[in-house]
Every structure is written in C-alpha cells, then in structure tokens.
Amino acid sequence: MGTTPFITVRARRPLTEIEFCAWVAQAVPGDRLEYHRGFLVLDIFPMFARLPDPQRAELARLGSRAFWAAEQGLVHLVQERTGPDQFAYIAVARPKPKAAAVSLSALLLAEQEAA
C-alpha cells in the first residue's frame, strides 16, 4: 500500500470567515487549508498589526472561527514554522461526526442566536 502525500491548499489572497466556513462544510477528511500566514496573535493585535482595521478585524473573525471549528471537532488546527516569527496556520479536515445530523449552517445560526 502506497502513501499519499499531504497537500495543503494555500489561498492567493487573505481568506474571509465565510470562505473558511464554506471550505469546512465541503472538505473531506484529510483536506488541508492554510488559512493564514504570519504571526496570528500579533497580526490581529492593534498595536502591532500592519493591516488596516477592516482587514485586521476580518482576520480576527477568521482566527476565532477556525478555533470554533476545532472545538466542534470539524478540524484539527496545526502550525508550521516557515521562518523567524512566521507561521503557516493550517486547518486539517476531520471526519464529520456520524451522530451529528446538524449541518454547519445550523450550528452557525444557533451560535448567532445565542450571542
């Protein structure tokens, strides 16, 4: 039996929270998505960020959504060091829970209603 190489999809431009959710909804187990490259905690912190406020806010939403997806058991989150103070933030799709008959859309709506 041969081994399958891991291929990570890297976006050509910064991803939005919505695009990340769309990827999570259609990803098959083992799919990998690089959702950010940099130093996330510093990139969203106003004092250190080099991004304009709207892009920084979107990146903060994306980071929060990735963490949420990991808490829901939908993805594993990993980091790969690419250089000094530089990381690739990667989401790896997990198998969808068999007992979960609830769609990602329903989970997102329930979260919105609770807030």
81's CB contacts (< 8 A; 6+ apart) are: 87
- Give the pLDDT of residue 3: 55
Q: How far is CA 63 from CA 56, 89, 92, 97, in A?
A: 11, 9, 14, 22
Does the pLDDT at position 101 exceed 70? no
- Asked if 115 and 44 touch (Cβ cutoff 8 Å), the reply is no
Select the highest-mean-pLDDT range: 4-13, 25-34, 100-109.
25-34
11's CB contacts (< 8 A; 6+ apart) are: 19, 33, 34, 35
43-95 pLDDT, tens per residue? 999 888 788 899 999 999 999 999 999 999 999 999 999 999 899 999 999 99
- Give the pLDDT of residue 46: 85
Instruction: State the Cα–Cα distance between residues 49 and 54, nearest whole angstrom.
Output: 12
For the chain, what are the domain ranges? Answer: 8-114
